[in-house]
Amino acid sequence: MKTREYAGYDATGLAGLIRGKQVSVAEVHDAARAAIEAVDGTLNAVVSGPWEVPLDCDSAGVLAGIPFALKDFAIHAAGVPTRFGSRLAGAGVVFPHDTELMTRFRAAGLATVASTTTPEFAFNGNTEPVTQGSTRNPWDTTRSAGGSSGGSAVLVAARALPIAHATDGGGSIRIPASANGLVGLKPSRGRVPVGPDTSEPLSGLGAEFGLTRSVRDCAALLDAVSGPAAGDKFVIRDPARPYREEVGRNPGRLRIAIQTESWSGGPVDAEISAAVNAVATVLEGLGHHVSPDSPVFDWGQFVDANLPVWSVSLAEGIDALATALGTAPGPGNLEATTLACAEYGRLVTATQLGGALAVFNQVSRAVGMFFTDYDLLLTPTLSQPPQPLGELDADDASLSPREWMHKLLGVCSFTPLFNVTGGPAISLPLGWTRSGLPIGVQLAAPMCDEGTLIAVASQLETAMPWADRAPGVNAGGL
């Protein structure tokens, strides 16, 4: 299989070729390795790999033999070092066991060939850790790849991989999906298992899943990995049908709210607003009812509640890692804002953390009531096109923890609401700037309703197709 041929297929298409014995797993792997090597020197997305031999996986899985990569954070595979995007981890921490999600990726047949870049402890809206340097956007290499799943995103966008692992604590699946022209779904809290080492990452804000180029791949991956694991703290409602059956399904006439003004009060780029409005027009043409409306909540209070939650989580993770490695966290091995937020987190009282979670509860109740009137909410994913590299500098010692949190969430003001509510949200590549940068458009749904998101995303993929668009840096020379 030639690299150019490989780069033209999504995961579902490649899996069909493998099952039909039109191509061997070994041929696909060789093409994937060549594809990664062809783009990584420009994009700087790989922490480790591509490996000569993929990690073990089930040859009978629904995605058997499909090349795959792991974000270097949260998930871990037995025997594979995890570095968390930080100098603190040194050569990496090796766990003796898989996380539950890694076990499911293996069972699906995904053949892991590399680990990908992330900002330090996944705490940034771009991917430019001091330890690795800048991961670059394949549409414009002077621009950010987004974060925190930037390494996975650029490899999928550049056609080096059809699918890759990602995590999302404030938008870290959807932000790089928007920046790189991909499909990025943050599932409902509890839909995809995060154990066994944790039960509620980031006090429930954190989720794991993946990044894809097509809606059908998103559905296939969700079918493969969703469902409760033994010992999970919460078990949520099962879907009405397999997610793959949502692709192409007519969801009926839906009530869709549209909001193009940022909840932070910051500006929204005119091209991005226009792209969202264009999607609204297409949705109306598909028979849906679209009207302007938005959940109401206090943005300043919302951001201030995020600060202790993120900071406590950082402090816990950093201290556990430092203890395991027998080292001391400090300015020599942590970026300035990471260190400042961890120090802040160690001072947060139980009462203060409880107060932040109470704010989250108030916001979740308000959004829950909003979705009694609407089936979906349509927004931009990001308020601005991908930033020039260096604009979100996590090593800026002049920023206080509060200033850093407000700066981060101001950049991605449309995404973190759904980490707080726990509901699903998806970014789709439905617009393009005049300079050729992708514009992500976000659809959010009530808790447990990924099915409706996938059905509507499938409608939009048909009406506003993006599969023929490839960035300037791509593995197949497309």
DSSP string, 119-186: SGGG-SSS---TTT---EETTEEEEE--SSSHHHHHHHHTTS-SEEEEEESSSTTHHHHHHHT-EEEE
Catalytic residue among 71, 364, 383, 458: 71
Is 172 annotated in the active site? Answer: yes
Helix axes 215-225, 450-463, angle to 10 degrees: 160
Among the listed residues 115, 134, 152, 172, the single catalytic one is: 172
The DSSP letter of residue 108 is T
Q: Which of 335, 337, 308, 333 is nearest to 322 (CA)?
A: 333
What angle do helix axes 100-107 and 215-225 make, rounded to 10 degrees?
120
Active site residue 152: no
105 closest CA partner among 39, 52, 58: 58
User: What token pair was written down for 283?
Assistant: 């949705």
CA angle 172, 169, 220 (to 5 degrees): 65
First to last CA, the chain: 16
Torsion 111-19-465-209 (CA) sign: negative
Handedness of CA 31, 147, 211, 121 (dihedral sign): positive
Q: Token digits for 246? A: 């949502």
Scan for tokens 């033999």, then name that residue. 65
The backbone torsions φ and ψ at residue 465, rounded to the nearest 5 degrees and listed phi first, read -65, 145
Which amino acid, one-letter code, is at 294?
S
Among 86, 148, 262, 413, the one annotated catalytic: 148
3-class secondary structure, 89:
helix
Which residue matches tokens 């970026």?
A: 335
Closest CA to 163 of 111, 95, 206: 111
* Annotation says 311 is catalytic: no
Residues with catalytic annotation? 71, 148, 172
